[in-house]
Structure 1
Amino acid sequence: MPGLLARVAPDLGPLRSSPAYRRLLGGQVVSLVGTQITQVAVPLQVWEATRSSLAVSLIGVAGLVPLVVFGLYGGAIADAVDRRRLVLVTSTVMLAVSAVLLVQAVLGSPHVWLLFVCVAVQAGAAAVDSPARSSMIPQLLPGTSLAAANNLRQAGFQSGMIAGPLLAGVIVGAGGYGWAYAADVVSFAAVFYSVLRLPSMPPGDGGRPAGLSSVLEGLRFLAGNKTLLMTFLVDINAMVFAAPRALFPALAYGTFHGDAATAGLLYAAPAVGAFAVTLVGGAVARVRRMGLGVIVSIAIWGLAVALLGATSWLWLGLSALLVAGAADTVSAIYRSTMLQLGTPPGMQGRLQGAHIVVVTGGPRLGDIRTGATAAWWGTGASLVSGGLVCLAGIIALALAVPSFARYDARKAEAARGG
């Protein structure tokens, strides 16, 4: 039994071997709690002002263009400059946005357009910030530790995704939006502490000045690698057709007849399931057939979202979200590891930038789809149809590129050099 637990439990080796990785992860988790409080408070504030799921879904539209532009170009910047300095700049911009949200909440009479502007600026800054952070991990750790590091990163990420929405529901319900945005502002202290303590993080071999040619070089590399391209396509399929977050306010106040605390539970439930997966991260990280793991995980995600749309019972809906979150996290761990193993050091920023565009842009497009479909057919029909289309899509992609299911992580680690 002790041997079995040791194999199943998450590998803490990256935390022990790299103090820099430990600081980076810790600061990111604290900041994520604040960010999630804001990301729940903003749609609740828009819902309160408009009572429209379509208006809530348009929050995703506001951030989509800056996300795509700055995600691609931000990745090129991360391959051209010191990544540590770049993260300090982007964190300063995001802190300023949170401060603006705090001020508008304190002054009262919020303007929905101002909330959308804040979302757009924050999305642009985050799109530059995230590829720089992700590119740091292969610089801090060897290839054999990347799956474990991604599992720990997911554990920290999901901890923030649990705590942030739950705190948002409590804070908004008890004190209002001003207190929620204030918590986000305070959380940035952890970001600056963790990044300032990092060593210099130059892009390494293969880095080149940022520009259109640099971006296109990264996209050509991606287009020429079927395995890496598939890690993007399967996630687009899952998020565009089966992203449920835009409907959480409508589910909370309408289908489940609840309040802000109910919305907090819905936002947190996927993260609870995701965090549970990271507790058995040792077993997850040891899987060699990561492509097959992604395919199965996304199929489960689609079925769980369809179940969420088919029920009017809160606890069954929360259970479906737990399963969906667990499946999405397994997929994320494998896709991140495959991308890091298959990308040269000097191109990590550009590929991570494209990855961020897909990972965060896909759900925004999904928000538009679910919001618009809910306006026409209703909340439940939107979720059920999206989940089933997602299932059909992952089956079609797996049949189109059968080599993806045969991907062997150990062979990729050996090719990378350990």
Structure 2
Amino acid sequence: MAAFGFLDVAPLRASPGFRLLYAARAASFLAFGVLGVAVSLQTYALTDSSLQVALLNAAVAGPMALSLMVGGWLADRFDRRTVMVWSRTAHLAAILILMGNAALAEPGILPIFAAAVVGGATFGFGMPALMAATPALVGREHLAGAAALTAVAAQAGAIAGPFLAGAITARMGLVACYGLVALASGLTPILLARLPRLPPARGEPGGDAPSDRTGGLRFLLRSPLVLNLLLIDLVALVFAVPYVLLPELAARAFRGDADSLGLLYTAPALGALIGALGSGRAGASPWAGRWLLACVAVWAGACLALGLVGGLVPALLVLAILGAAASLAGILRAALIQRATPDAMLGRVSGLWVLEETLGPALGGMQMGTSAHLASARLALVTGGGLCLAATAGFAALIPSLRRASLAPEKRPETGHAGLVPADAR
């Protein structure tokens, strides 16, 4: 069977609950795409400082890291629908702070940082429950399809959000831009409230007590597959994410202008969208682990190649390949983690997973930026891609559970009238 094909929409057809969850997440992705650009624009306009923009990201990340741990525990202890609805409703407070501040004659920078803290905390409380809800709604046989559909919505939001933010801010101002964010964010808890109750499973094999806040860490230590799925992603995020170097490449290596920089940022998002659209057969692949390793290797190779190419068009092609490989790796990783994790642990493991995906790009940006400062952007890309490629080869050679990881449907033996397993199925 081919590993990939056109986008698998079976989760949307089969599950009314997943359709609601998907619509809610699509609205959130669009809101976050608009919000990230609008807040950065306003912060830079008020302070004329890129450092303040970076500090704003830190103001989001700190509270989010703490709340993710609490959110994972909440998702494994209480009804996940309730956790999602309340956290996304509370998130509206951050948007209202931004709207009120933007409406003032002289907007201040402190309310923006306050909104960042509130937004990061409320996002972290609800995200583990949001991720843990998917297996219960689609079944574990459709996890890769659900992850691919989510990736499509995420990339669509990443492409459309900045465009809308720029267009609305230029024509109607920041209050209108934040108003769109509030509208999309307000739709999210309304859709989530229509989901069925989603209580976490109790007493599943492999799960720790829901009251144990450190159970997620202990589960990772006794689950080599899930642990190494997170570690290989962390390695790729730290060594093979080139986005912080794109402005320098556009200005110095390719001698381009602002339009060239925009194309460099758009190329990986378009590649990721194409990768997600072409992931249809991934959900049934018996070689999912090998495909994931191959995707990470291509991701690393594309980062390395970006440091060697000499023109804008080749760079755009390499970035599109990088985005597609990273998207496919993410889809396979999501399905494998959710399939290998007991429902009773999904909240806490999802919290650690989102934390890794939050800290990884931040560490990667620091690594790439420091390497480029000490040497050059091209050398930083070649070195980072090479290290990631070597590490991927090490994972492939040393972690058999990763090589053997499968998303093929589980075979369930048929039983006779007496409940006995037939001889040919033993």
TM-score (norm 1): 0.85
User: Does residue 351 of structure 2 align to residue 353 of structure 1?
Assistant: yes
Match of 2:400 in 1: 402
Q: 1:84 to 1:165 in 2, by over 3 A?
A: same
Counterparts of 1:213-292 in structure 2, within 5 Å, are 214-248=212-246, 257-259=256-258, 265-292=263-290
Counterpart contact for 2:84–2:129, Cα < 8 Å: yes
Q: 1:239 to 1:109 in 2, by over 3 A?
A: farther
Counterpart contact for 2:84–2:189, Cα < 8 Å: no
Larger mean CA deviation between 216-225 and 318-327 belongs to 318-327
Question: What's the CA shift string for 1:345-396, capped at 9, x where partnerless?
Answer: 1111111111111122211222333344444445444444333332222223
Larger mean CA deviation between 105-114 and 180-189 belongs to 105-114
Counterpart contact for 1:81–1:202, Cα < 8 Å: yes
User: Does residue 225 of structure 2 align to residue 196 of structure 1?
Assistant: no
Match of 2:92 in 1: 95
Counterpart contact for 2:64–2:124, Cα < 8 Å: yes
User: Does residue 165 of structure 2 align to residue 187 of structure 1?
Assistant: no
The whole-number CA distance in structure 2 between the counterparts of 1:45 and 1:372 is 27
Counterpart contact for 2:86–2:189, Cα < 8 Å: no
Structure 2: runs of 5+ lacking an equivalent: 415-426
Report how far residue 232 of structure 1 moved.
0.4
SS at the partner of 1:293? helix
Give the aligned residue type for 1:78.
A
Counterpart contact for 1:338–1:409, Cα < 8 Å: yes
User: Does residue 19 of structure 2 align to residue 19 of structure 1?
Assistant: no
Report how far residue 76 of structure 1 moved.
0.9
Counterparts of 1:15-414 in structure 2, within 5 Å, are 15-46=12-43, 56-107=53-104, 115-172=112-169, 174=171, 177-206=174-203, 214-248=212-246, 257-259=256-258, 265-310=263-308, 313-377=311-375, 379-410=377-408, 413-414=410-411
Larger mean CA deviation between 55-64 and 399-408 belongs to 55-64
Q: 1:317 to 1:223 in 2, by over 3 A?
A: same
SS at the partner of 2:130? helix
Counterpart contact for 1:270–1:323, Cα < 8 Å: yes
Q: Which has the larger radius of gyration?
A: 2
Whichever structure has more helix as a proportion of its residues is 1
Counterpart contact for 1:163–1:268, Cα < 8 Å: no
Give the aligned residue type for 1:395.
A
TM-score (norm 2): 0.84
Q: 1:47 to 1:71 in 2, by over 3 A?
A: same
Counterpart contact for 1:136–1:201, Cα < 8 Å: yes
Report how far residue 204 of structure 1 moved.
2.3
Larger mean CA deviation between 219-228 and 362-371 belongs to 362-371
SS at the partner of 2:213? helix
SS at the partner of 1:8? coil
The whole-number CA distance in structure 1 between the counterparts of 2:117 and 2:247 is 21
The whole-number CA distance in structure 2 between the counterparts of 1:127 and 1:302 is 29
Q: CA RMSD in A?
A: 3.2
The whole-number CA distance in structure 2 between the counterparts of 1:166 and 1:339 is 33
The share of aligned pairs that are identical, in percent, is: 33
The whole-number CA distance in structure 1 between the counterparts of 2:41 and 2:306 is 20
Q: 1:243 to 1:57 in 2, by over 3 A?
A: farther
Counterpart contact for 1:14–1:21, Cα < 8 Å: yes
Q: 1:173 to 1:107 in 2, by over 3 A?
A: same
The whole-number CA distance in structure 2 between the counterparts of 1:288 and 1:199 is 32
Give the aligned residue type for 2:11.
P
Report how far residue 241 of structure 1 moved.
1.9
Counterpart contact for 2:284–2:408, Cα < 8 Å: no
The whole-number CA distance in structure 2 between the counterparts of 1:393 and 1:53 is 33
Report how far residue 23 of structure 1 moved.
1.2
Counterpart contact for 2:97–2:111, Cα < 8 Å: no
Counterpart contact for 1:62–1:120, Cα < 8 Å: yes
Question: What's the CA shift string for 1:270-326, capped at 9, x where partnerless?
Answer: 222122122222233332211112211112222323444555744443333221211
How many aligned residue pairs are there? 408
